[in-house]
Amino acid sequence: MTVEAFDVVDLIRTKRDKGVLTTEQINWLVDAYTRGYVADEQMSAMTMAIFLNGMEREEIRDLTLAMIASGETLSFEGLGKPTTDKHSTGGVGDKITLPLAPLVASFGVAVPQLSGRGLGHTGGTLDKLESIPGWRASLTNDEFYAQLDSVGAVICAAGSGLAPADRRLYSLRDITGTVESIPLIASSIMSKKIAEGTAALVLDVKFGSGAFMQDPARSRELAETMVRIGKDAGVKTVALLTNMNVPLGLAIGNANEVRESVEVLSGGGPADVVELTLALAREMLALAGQPDADVEGHLAGGQAMDTWRAMISAQGGDPDAALPVARETQRVVAERDGVLVAQHALPFGIPAWRLGAGRARKEDPVVHAAGIDLAVKPGDAVKKGDVLFTMHTDESARFERALEALEGAYVIGDEGSALDTGGPLIAGRVD
């Protein structure tokens, strides 16, 4: 019989009483939980203690490294090109990965973008791309490396071998009210990104109504924590703090967000989506050794679109295929003349979810054609009867609950009224 190095109850008491765990204790805890020796109820107590009392910088670093060590790691040393990646904390209408990955890859840089699916009101990149006929999210390691070499950009599902401890811990946090813990969020995100093997990482940390963390100060704290972890692990890391009080772009959903991304790659698209795509691309390319890259030129000149088409085709998708269209639509119009002064992200994300664009459980399917298309943004003048937005779904019975969630989602004011947007799109930078 194996004698364990520590007693989990002692470690729980240490964090409960605001103590500090050693590297050896954290390594043992993560390993013991991964192999099932530490039970879910014990780890639940530990995560709540961490949620209430926090962790020191060294503890967060050790937790991240222990979760990385729980599984396999990837390496791109033999690729022959620099690697750079982006991670967003998510929001409403956040489709930035779609135009960003091919844009950055068009400069000869490899972008290994391991992405996830949506749960709740925030959409998942894989769900969006699966609206393209034939496209597949799962690749073998050989396919993954081959595509990075030939195309430069890969957006696919992460393998189960990367940071399996985080996979178990995330599910536990989701049902124990500890999701919002900054040490646990930071170690979860960074363990997967560091295990992925990228040399450089740009973080898009959002705040506001539609963000995971609504408070700008808490978002900055999270950004600073993740940047420290990245640097401690030898990964060049910077973060942008971005505003998610207003939905990003005009499209919320899956297929309609793909359409909007293609518009951006074609040199058009909403100004806020273009602005954030370009800002993140500059940061990624600077970390990859190309600080003077002409990102605007590659959007306008078609290089980014060429890479998009190659990326989609390499994963079995047809970049020319028609995207799904919803069977039912319903428009919501302005009831008065005026100016749109507020458009809150969360109350638009929830109805898109209810229309079928998201899932309540991981196993639920999404309706790729479901979602909301916005016709106006804050600051736009409207006339009575003008369309404000259009809802899309395959089941008309879904409209009623979607409309319920839209109560208070937008405000039409008088000309000259102050806009309620929460400030500029890009609010800060952490390096």
Task: Give the SS3 label for residue 54.
Answer: coil
Confidence check: pLDDT of 78 > 90? no
180 — pLDDT class (breaks 50, 70, 90): confident
- CA nearest neighbour of 49 among 83, 84, 10, 81: 10
Could you give the CA distance from residue 33 to residue 429 in angstroms, rounded to a whole number?
36
Contact (CB, 8 A) for 148 and 196 = no
Active site residue 192: yes
What would the pLDDT profile of 389-399 be if each residue is shown by its tens digit?
999 999 999 99
* Residue of 121, 167, 168, 173 with catalytic role: 173
Q: Answer yes or no: is pLDDT of 120 > 70.
A: no
Q: Is 294 a catalytic residue?
A: no
Q: Please name the fold of domain 85-321.
A: Pyrimidine Nucleoside Phosphorylase; Chain A, domain 2 (3.40.1030)
- Cα distance between residue 404 and residue 220, in whole Å: 33
**87 part of the active site:** yes
Domain parsing of the chain, residue ranges: 8-54, 85-321, 328-413
User: Is 121 annotated in the active site?
Assistant: no
Range ranked top by mean pLDDT from 21-30, 160-169, 350-359: 21-30
The answer to whether residue 243 scores a pLDDT higher than 90 is yes
Give the mean pLDDT of the chain.
94
Taking phi over 0 as left and psi of -120 to 50 as alpha, with beta for the rest, 43 belongs to: alpha
**Which DSSP state fits 357?**
I
pLDDT classification of 1: cutoffs 50, 70, 90: low
CA distance 200 to 82: 9
How confident is the model over 283-308, as pLDDT tens digits? 999 999 999 999 999 999 999 999 99
Predicted confidence (pLDDT) at residue 220 exceeds the cutoff of 70: yes
DSSP code per residue over 172-197: HHHTTT-TT-HHHHHHHHHHHHHHHT
Catalytic one of 62, 85, 166, 272: 166
- Determine the pLDDT at residue 362: 65
pLDDT bracket for residue 10 (50, 70, 90) = very high
CA distances from 11 to 38, 64, 176, 404 (A): 11, 17, 19, 46
Residues 6+ apart with CB under 8 A from 390: 329, 330, 331, 332, 372, 373, 375
Contact 369/115 with Cβ under 8 angstroms? no
Sequence-separated (6 or more) residues with CB below 8 Å from residue 378: 246, 340, 341, 342, 343, 419, 420, 421
Exactly one of 86, 87, 220, 392 is catalytic; which is it? 87
Please tell me the distance from the alpha carbon of residue 373 to that of residue 348, in angstroms, as a whole number: 10
* Residue 85 annotated among the catalytic residues of the structure: no
CATH code 3.40.50.10470 for 328-413: no
The phi, psi pair for 109, rounded to 5°, reads -100, 140
- Of 158-172, 278-292, 322-336, the poorest mean pLDDT is in 158-172
* Candidates 128, 192, 193, 282; catalytic one: 192
Amino acid, single-letter form, for residue 278: L
pLDDT digits (tens, 9 = 90+) for 14-63: 999 999 999 999 999 999 999 999 999 999 999 999 999 999 999 999 99
Q: Which of 187, 188, 209, 261 is catalytic?
A: 188
Looking at residue 322, what DSSP letter applies?
A: P
- Beta-strand ranges (E) seen in 73-223 are 85-88, 111-115, 153-157, 200-207
Q: Which CATH class is domain 8-54?
A: mainly alpha
Q: Which residue intervals of 266-327 are DSSP H helices?
A: 271-287, 295-300, 303-314
Confidence of residue 93 (pLDDT cuts 50, 70, 90): very high
